[in-house]
Structure 1
């Protein structure tokens, strides 16, 4: 998630004024499973898939890891840590790959440790603050690693900081955003991974030409900005499709727009999306594209899911408007009865979780030259206090979304997705984030990072500083169904501060965010403890340490800590090599300002962390980390 102020996490500040019931209002006693975990069927998906995987065959593989007596989590759990380093289990090695500023091609501009690279340099380098990603296999030992770059830390990005904003600085920041596509391969002798030159290597930035498809097209008046359509910003988690494309998801796009015009005031819709005159980035001072008063329709071009074809480096990214406009945390794709289904959380306190159900078989759409993401219905979830739920259609002409209710057409519904969800009575959640679909029984898992909470008979909490993971089963195991039953998968936290938490020392964690499975059925959980809480006993996080990656056996309920990140960093992004023997994880914003460790400055950006270079004159850099087992075995064994 984007952070520009250690004391204020924008996702923790609600902008939902509706009277819709909060999720904590409807928790039932049957929801909490003893021990803080849920016992679920095992099994999983095709190799190399992360939380956005296409579901595979039901149940465990014959002779697979969940057969009686077979322990799925074979590694020794690592302890919590506050060190400025990557910690992995005994018998494992972590290798840093493609940190921010790595040249996209071998002849490209090298990273300058004093942050003096230009905007033109940054356009030819790996972007900043790595987040969601997927490895598109080219074989067992190579693939196209496609990853998001969510935002920038201006203290680290600019050699002289951001006191003065120039067009060059805006352009450099735009170039550090977006998506990287880079070919990686594993050396068969050393087992190490490296990035290599390829015609597929590509950057999509905040300035790359884009187009729109679906009910909201560039002909729509709301998209008629003063400039050509360009760029994708604040790409958080991601997804990928069964037809081989990547889905980048625009989350906190509102933070880039501002104005010095004292007469400007946000209207109701702009307030609903968190627009304000003041912005920490202040791009509007040097680029009118981001001035709310001078170019008010530009903001409508953001908040979408963006489809990118990693195998077509000259193709234009497409914003798929049928998936709705909000702060997309991710786009988790599965299929049922040949139809594509996309789940997406809206990552802000008091917001909702959505799913898009495609119309007809996606393969038929592809054969007709149509996008399966342009044809279908968007739904929003309502949870009821009896452990059941329903998917409510966001469809013009139905329910509250009629002309009499002030709605113009389907494009209007999608442009104002949050307001439409308010109108139909969706259930507020504590920051809905990543979604994973179980490949066997097709249950759906959703991380709720933390939030204000509205209480409940048995919790989780009011407020809810630790978050939790909720699970639901769609009717008949069909992800296109419009009803479901839900419960709690795990209640996160530290039992020393909350006795309702039943996690042992190997499993305590807070603020679950990223989530996904591997091919053997391990559920991987990544955390994103805010830097305003990380390592602080006063916030209940003194025993939990830095952010981490955990593995869970859904069949037994066992959870073990697998990795701990460096100081100030979020652990995010998750994808596997085709053989399951390499795990790719992103370390985002290491060294960013934290209440516990301090605030970096232009003179000393190393106050909190100096990972991964540990150069006495350098600065912390986000990076992808590849984890392998020293004996060459599968990750997690």
Structure 2
């Protein structure tokens, strides 16, 4: 998701992990798969040092083809509201501050407080999960990624170090679980549902798995190392096969301030996570966010949290077997032998791609509530011939006491350092990672990396590598991982480029799209993604304005002669990004998160770029969930 400048700087030491020429790489990769090409011989030859014979062969191998997506594309552009294709409608379902309980107070932006916010829909909604309870009844599970003082509060409340304002921000984060019902083919919120729940930065949680109870997880407030207050930085996530909700803690470093001595035992680990960053001022109001007072508290964030949405009295669990880093998402799938595989990206420039494989298979007749506490976390090493998934297991390779890893708990608490030691491949901001159970493939969103370099002479720039071949990659790309015979638990995989983002009409970008892609169908900065019930892939963006248009949602072909063809479907209001695409099981409704509408680097509560979705001069713009339908109530996309 949206990153601040400090997160643009890679903290991975693998800043110079070997470079390849763009031409050699593209020639090698695309000679094996001739379906995806640039828009013209001149564009491809400018970006690639290939022979004319091979270039022409690639260009003539793929022809413009029809696509199973038949909706009429929307136009590129930028304005203060949202847009959908002809024949579709987008309703605003939930807005920041909307009451989600029967007796919750109405939203009053001039009198916000932690009590009211803990009963209302939170700020900056991101991931959306849908748990179906019946054809016309389900639960939305929605993340709230971060708060923004200058855009949430009027000037009179933007007081630095103000405890009341900070507590309101803490309450605005976490997650919302809200029952929705379909009435007359339209979904609506059920405010009096006993299943509705707000989980915030103060909600008690358990710590489970290999790091639970470890000395590095203990704090003055929790000498057991097994209980923690809250979940923060909740970005993307996933819904498990057994119907629980995984929420991913991403940019947790900004919540921690104070100073930590360089000789402290956690100094290297904290530095690798960017702690303490102090961009928020929370440490002035709550000692647990002050590393000078509670140096271990930061180790208790940066995990995957599992929540049972069907039990509002259940205690969320931080599953430490899935590692600690800046988690973007946690999409799961079953391997052929029944084991659960969870794919995760570490969303920082230069960091890594992971997958967790459970030790035991999922048994639908007797589900193990702690299945995710036991298994193996792997990190990806890409080369031109495939992907090696390297086990992050204590005692194997360099993950020993001699290198500072005294137990599996150490490996999980310091996952980034352990992955460094194994020689994982630095990536261009791996965000959402979506397994496709229908074709045995996995789609990896790589949003961008302006710090990627052709040279090895800049210490803060990461060298190009096989899977990230473009220097100054401000547009991002999408990689398709091919798991052998659909075995998602495999430790050796193949991979291909699906698209390289950016304008295909400008040879300088080195973009790669199917020639059937229109002027509206290409995009930049892929972020979240989803597979619809028909097997189609959808891509949401965060950073497309670098391409001259606002962020939105695109359908993207993955098969046959149409492979690599984009089609524009949804356009966000100016300043917003689009997150969390999620379809109902019947494919007749699509939920989208519209995050931070009306914001840029200079906006405030008083001066937004738009006042979407209310367009009320007395109200600020409000991050919201929209639900999209076809006018004829048929399946979306066709």
* TM-score normalised by structure 2 residue count: 0.87
Are 1:110 and 2:119 an aligned pair?
A: no
CA-to-aligned-CA distance 1:572-606 (integer Å, 9 cap, x gap): 01111232101000000111124xxxx2234x142
Check whether the contact 1:155–1:605 (CA below 8 A) recurs between aligned residues.
Answer: no
Contact 1:436 1:515 in 2 (8 A): yes
Structure 1: distance between partners of 2:275 and 2:73: 43
Residues 396, 249 of structure 1: CA spacing in aligned structure 2 closer, same or farther, 3 A cutoff?
same
**In structure 2, how many angstroms separate the alpha carbons of the residues matched to 1:24 and 1:476?**
29
Q: Describe the SS at the equivalent of 2:180.
A: strand
1:232 matches 2:231: yes
Give CA-to-partner distance per residue, 1:274-295, whole Å, 9 cap, x none. 113x522111112111111011
1:134 corresponding residue in structure 2: 129
In terms of fraction of residues, the more helix-rich structure is 2
Name the counterpart of 1:74: 70
- Is 1:488 equivalent to 2:479 in the alignment? no
The match for 1:394 among 392, 395, 398 is 392
In structure 1, the partner of 2:547 is: 541
- CA shift in 2, pair 1:79/1:477, >3 Å: same
Matched, 1:362 2:362: yes
Given the superposition, is the C-alpha separation of residues 456 and 350 from structure 1 closer, same or farther in structure 2, using an over 3 Å criterion? closer
In structure 2, do the counterparts of structure 1 residues 625 and 274 end up closer, same or farther at CA, with 3 Å as the change threshold? Answer: same
Task: Provide the residue aligned with 1:630 in structure 2.
Answer: 631
Return the offset for 1:362: 2.0
Equivalent runs, 1:428-439 vs 2, <5 Å: 428-439=426-437
Residue matched to 1:500 = 510
Change (3 A) 1:626 1:169: same
Alignment of 1:233-272 (within 5 A): 233-259=232-258, 267-272=267-272
Q: 1:369: Cα distance to partner? A: 4.7
- Aligned to 1:472, the other structure's residue is in SS state strand
Note closer, same or farther for the CA distance 1:262–1:354 as it changes in structure 2 (3 Å cut): closer
From 556, 567, 571, the counterpart of 1:552 = 556
Q: Who is 1:328 aligned against?
A: 327
Match of 1:463 among 472, 496, 509: 472
2:94 aligned with 1:85: no
The answer to which of 367-376 and 578-587 deviates more is 367-376
CA deviations over 1:247-286 (Å, ceiling 9, x no partner): 000000011000168999882211111113x522111112
Counterpart of 1:169 (choices 130, 143, 165) is: 165
Report how far residue 2 of structure 1 moved. 4.8
Conserved 8 A contact 2:118-2:172: yes
CA contact (8 A) 1:155 1:161 kept: no
1:194 to 189, 197, 208: 189
Count the aligned residue pairs. Answer: 581
Q: CA deviation at 1:37?
A: 6.8
The 3-state SS of whatever aligns with 1:367 is coil
3-state SS of paired residue (1:422): helix
Which residue of the partner structure matches residue 56 of structure 2?
Answer: none
Task: State the match for 1:479 in structure 2.
Answer: 488
Aligned partner of 1:351 in structure 2 is 351
Distance 2:66 2:391 in 1: 43
SS of equivalent residue, structure 1 residue 363: coil
Distance 1:417 1:291 in 2: 22
Aligned-partner SS, 1:120: helix
Tell me the distance in 2 between the aligned counterparts of 1:622 and 1:97.
Answer: 11
The CA distance in 2 between the partners of 1:490 and 1:34, in whole Å, is 13
Whether the 8 Å contact between 1:22 and 1:427 is mirrored in structure 2 is no
Unaligned runs of 5+ in 1: 39-68
Report if the CA contact (8 A) 1:29-1:458 is conserved: no
Question: Offset at 1:456?
Answer: 6.1
Partner of 2:527: 513
Report the equivalent of 1:95: 91
Q: Call closer, same or farther: CA 1:22–1:129 in 2, change over 3 Å.
A: farther
| SS of residue paired to 1:495 | coil
Q: What is residue 48 of structure 2 aligned with on the other side?
A: none
- 8 Å contact 2:160–2:281 — kept in the other structure? no
CA-based RMSD of the aligned residues comes to 2.3
Contact 2:209 2:319 in 1 (8 A): yes
Aligned to 2:438: 440
**Cα distance between partner residues in 2 of 1:174 and 1:384:** 42
- Contact 1:345–1:352 at 8 Å: present in 2 too? yes
Match of 1:576 in 2: 583
1:123-165 alpha-carbon deviations (Å, 9 max, x no partner): 1000000001111112222211011000011123223353422
Question: Does structure 2 conserve the Cα–Cα contact (< 8 Å) formed by 1:492 and 1:511?
Answer: yes
Runs of 5+ unmatched residues, structure 2: 39-64, 223-227, 453-462
The whole-number CA distance in structure 2 between the counterparts of 1:185 and 1:37 is 44
Any idea what SS the aligned residue of 2:402 has? coil
Deviation at 1:521, TM superposition (A): 1.8
CA distance 1:499–1:425, change in 2 (3 Å): closer
CA distance in 2, matches of 1:261, 1:390: 36
Distance 2:20 2:414 in 1: 25
Post-superposition Cα deviations, 1:542-562, rounded to whole Å, max 9, x if no partner, equal 2xx100100123222232000
2:610 corresponding residue in structure 1? 609
Deviation at 1:111, TM superposition (A): 0.7
| SS of the residue 1:373 aligns to | helix
CA shift for structure 1 position 169? 1.4
**Which of the numbers 581, 592, 609 marks the counterpart of 1:585?**
592
Q: 1:403, CA displacement in angstroms?
A: 2.2
In the aligned structure 2, how far is the partner of 1:495 from the partner of 1:187? 44
Cα distance per residue 1:85-117 (max 9 Å; x no partner): 111000000000110001012321101143x22
Q: 1:22 to 1:117 in 2, by over 3 A?
A: farther
